[in-house]
Amino acid sequence: MNEYMLREDFLTSFQQLQEQFDSSLNDAKALDAEFIKHYHQFNSELSVLLADARTKVPQDSPLSSSLVALIEGLEKQDNDWKNKIQNQDKGLRFRKEFEDSLLVYVYGKVKSGKSSLGNYIAWGHTNPTPEQQSAIASTPHGKKVVYKTYENSNAENGDAQNEAEQQAKFRVSAIEATSSIQTFRLPGLTWVDSPGLHSVRTENAELAKEFVEHADLILYTMSSDSPGRASDLKEIQVLNNKEKNIMFLLTGSDTNEVVSKDAGEPFMRRIMKSTQTQQQQRDYVKNALEKENIDISNVEILSISAMYAEMNADNPEAIKESGMGQFFARLYQLSQSDGVRMKRAVPVNNFKIFLDICIREIEEYHGQMDLFHQNIKKLDESLKKTKESAILEAQRKMRGEIQKEFFGKLAEKRNSETQVNSALKVLKSTLDSRMEEYISCALDTILTNVVKEFKATITKTWQAAPLSLPSFSIEKAIEQIPDDYVEDTRGRNSRIGALLGSAVGFALGGFAGAAIGAGIGSGLGAMSGDNARCRMLDIEVPVGDNLNELCSHVLGVYNEGIEKEIQQQVDTYINALYRDMDSLYSALEKETEKFKTSLLALKKRAEDTLIR
């Protein structure tokens, strides 16, 4: 970079600086427009999902309160974002006079050349006449000079209220005393002329402080005729703690020289003080600063003369000699520094910070949804307990019904299988009806406050599955009972045998043969006869039945049927509801992550813009 610049080049460079500020603002606004589009899409998707969820859950359902809490939480989050968008404006602007230009804040004692210097920067004249201002106003730069005067302290011999605005220049006079904060603006540059630290009134104290906080460069002007005065050093001590770029200007570093002519009267001409004199004055100021323990390692001190530059406006060498060329070059250098690049990036950087906040707050959405998910799990645990209790109650009622029927009506007929089995068929219809009644009651207890329109749906679609029951049977045993008496035939047959044997024996052997034959015949006759006995009859005798076992089996069948039906029906309705809620949760998570991804992409674009 050149060590010095002409005023015209300086103004052109700051016109470009203004364009860079404008470009940064436009970049931020383009990012914001993209953000608004993504936000509205996200907001719309959430609204549709939550409205649909409301229609699936009754108002008195415990799940409804969780859903309402989720909706209210998301709506509160959304309102917070709307407030940021509408009220905070996401920082998508420059603060006029503070952030949208290079800000130069000028301090200095009375008659230290502050006003003359400011006028020269603005007009190229230290005290422009209306005619000069009118001529310059037609130039590209001159049209945009804007003066402003803040609260006037009404100091003696000070500038009048709004004088700078009305005159479009700072007052320059022999009794000059700036009594208010005055500014002018050129494209890319804000120049602030202050009354001095010691004379800033309460009305202007906060404004002066704010200008200082945002200043890119603080200028402290001292007259080259009396630099480094004790009163200056006290003011500088205060400025030194601001940790700002500070430059000391020894104004009026020119002098009058008498020039003799060969013919004619001698005349006075303005020349710059000698290089040696300027250096001695700068060294004097440095020494004075060191004595006050002020760090001068990065201190810049320039000797300048705005008047000399004005009088030699068409002479580049004279501009360089005046010190104003170096001053312009230094201002240009500051306009390209990291600090001002950061300043130009204020809207984009503010928007990036806003996006960081939004991205963090998306976790609030996740938190609301996770809480909703936890509430669904709690409801599921509560329903399990309610379901278990309802099943046991239905089974208790069924047990009482079965025991009453079995040990009442059926027990009276237990001696007849036919009668019991006929009655059992009739009873099954009654028991089936009772089971449906108890199951419906249980489902009503479990589901009425959870699933919307449950009652209407259950009466139309639910019916218990048919159950099969075993038959009643009587256990029997075979027993013998006396049926008739049979007399003894052995004596009769013995007598008959003796007679027959005696006859045969007599015929064969006489009386001896008759005796032997009678004995043999008697024995054989006895053998062919029967003893006296009782004749028996086989009959079936009932020894028990399976009524008790049948009752236990039927209890088991209906208990199992009740549990199975209730489990199945609850699962059918509750699982459908859980699927809806899980679907809602998944959809909300998906939309939230989609929005977060969009914001991360916008943040990346903002970061790329800042790097560029």
Tell me the pLDDT tens digit for each residue of 245-261. 889 999 999 998 887 76
Grade residue 183 by pLDDT with cuts at 50, 70 and 90: very high
Domain spans, the chain: 15-100+345-465+546-611, 101-336
**Digit-coded pLDDT (tens) for 553-564:** 888 888 888 888
Grade residue 321 by pLDDT with cuts at 50, 70 and 90: very high
Question: Could you give the CA distance from residue 256 to residue 520 in angstroms, rounded to a whole number?
Answer: 197
- Does position 4 have pLDDT exceeding 80, yes or no? yes
Average pLDDT over residues 94-116: 87
Question: Could you give the CA distance from residue 418 to residue 425 in angstroms, rounded to a whole number?
Answer: 11
Among 99, 205, 194, which Cα is nearest to 149's? 194
Q: What is the pLDDT of residue 48?
A: 87
Q: In sequence order, what are the residues at sequence separation of 6 or more whose Cβ sits closer than 8 angstroms to the Cβ of residue 523?
A: 494, 497
**Digit-coded pLDDT (tens) for 528-546:** 666 656 665 655 544 456 6
Q: What is the pLDDT of residue 455?
A: 47
CATH code for the structural domain at 101-336: 3.40.50.300
Task: Please state, for a pLDDT cut of 70, what percent of the chain lies above it.
Answer: 75
Would you state the torsion angle of the CA atoms of residues 59, 60, 63, 68, taken in this order, to the nearest 10 degrees? 50
Question: What's the chain's average pLDDT?
Answer: 79
Q: In sequence order, what are the residues at sequence separation of 6 or more whose Cβ sits closer than 8 angstroms to the Cβ of residue 557?
A: 467, 468, 469
Q: What is the pLDDT of residue 175?
A: 54
Q: For 435, what's the count of Cα atoms within 13 Å in the CB-facing half-sphere?
A: 27
Question: Could you give the CA distance from residue 69 to residue 498 in angstroms, rounded to a whole number?
Answer: 121
Angle separating helix axes 62-83 and 547-611, nearest 10 degrees: 0
Among 587, 597, 59, 596, which Cα is nearest to 373's? 587
Burial class (CB in 10 A: 0-12, 13-18, 19+), 33: exposed
- Contact 253/224 with Cβ under 8 angstroms? yes
Q: What is the pLDDT of residue 105?
A: 92
Q: What is the pLDDT of residue 466?
A: 62
Residues in the chain: 612
Task: Report the number of secondary-structure helices (H) and strands (E) in the chain.
Answer: 18, 11
- Does position 121 have pLDDT exceeding 80, yes or no? yes
Q: What is the pLDDT of residue 459?
A: 45
Q: What is the pLDDT of residue 335?
A: 92
- Contact 129/137 with Cβ under 8 angstroms? no
Q: What is the pLDDT of residue 361?
A: 82
Average pLDDT over residues 428-446: 85
- Does position 315 have pLDDT exceeding 90, yes or no? yes
What is the DSSP code string of 401-463?
Answer: HHHHIIIIIIHHTTT-HHHHHHHHHHHHHHHHHHHHHHHHHHHHHHHTTTSTTHHHHHHHH--
Question: Could you give the CA distance from residue 185 to residue 144 in angstroms, rounded to a whole number?
Answer: 8
Would you state the torsion angle of the CA atoms of residues 18, 22, 23, 28, taken in this order, to the nearest 10 degrees? 140
The model carries a pTM of 0.66
Question: Could you give the CA distance from residue 4 to residue 431 in angstroms, rounded to a whole number?
Answer: 109
Average pLDDT over residues 357-386: 81
Q: What is the pLDDT of residue 155?
A: 45
Residue 359: how many other CB atoms lie within 10 Å: 15
Q: What is the pLDDT of residue 232?
A: 81
Average pLDDT over residues 109-131: 90
* Residues paired with 480 in a beta bridge: 538
Helix or strand or coil: residue 537? strand
- Does position 519 have pLDDT exceeding 50, yes or no? yes
- Does position 580 have pLDDT exceeding 70, yes or no? yes
* Residues paired with 540 in a beta bridge: 478
Question: Could you give the CA distance from residue 11 to residue 324 in angstroms, rounded to a whole number?
Answer: 13
